[in-house]
Amino acid sequence: MEVATTLSSSAKDDEHRLCREARKYMNKEWEVITQHTYRKGNKLADGLASTA
């Protein structure tokens, strides 16, 4: 939930490259929906986060 809160806030957290990249896509002219998914439901994202 912290990531969704960070991405939705107007404050920029330039220390996190992933947040910058996500904001770039969210600011494009399309509809973006963010939602929380537990680790158990998204093993690929969990694996990628574990390697970062």
The tokens describing 10, both together, are: 């107007």
What total of structural domains would you count in the chain? 1
| Residues sharing a CB contact under 8 Å with residue 46, sequence separation 6 or more, in sequence order | 39
Find the angle CA(26)-CA(32)-CA(33) to the nearest 5 degrees: 125
Structural domain including 16 reads 2-51
Tell me the pLDDT tens digit for each residue of 3-40. Answer: 667 677 766 555 678 878 888 888 888 887 888 888 78
pLDDT of residue 11: 62
CA 45 from centre of chain: 11
pLDDT of residue 12: 59
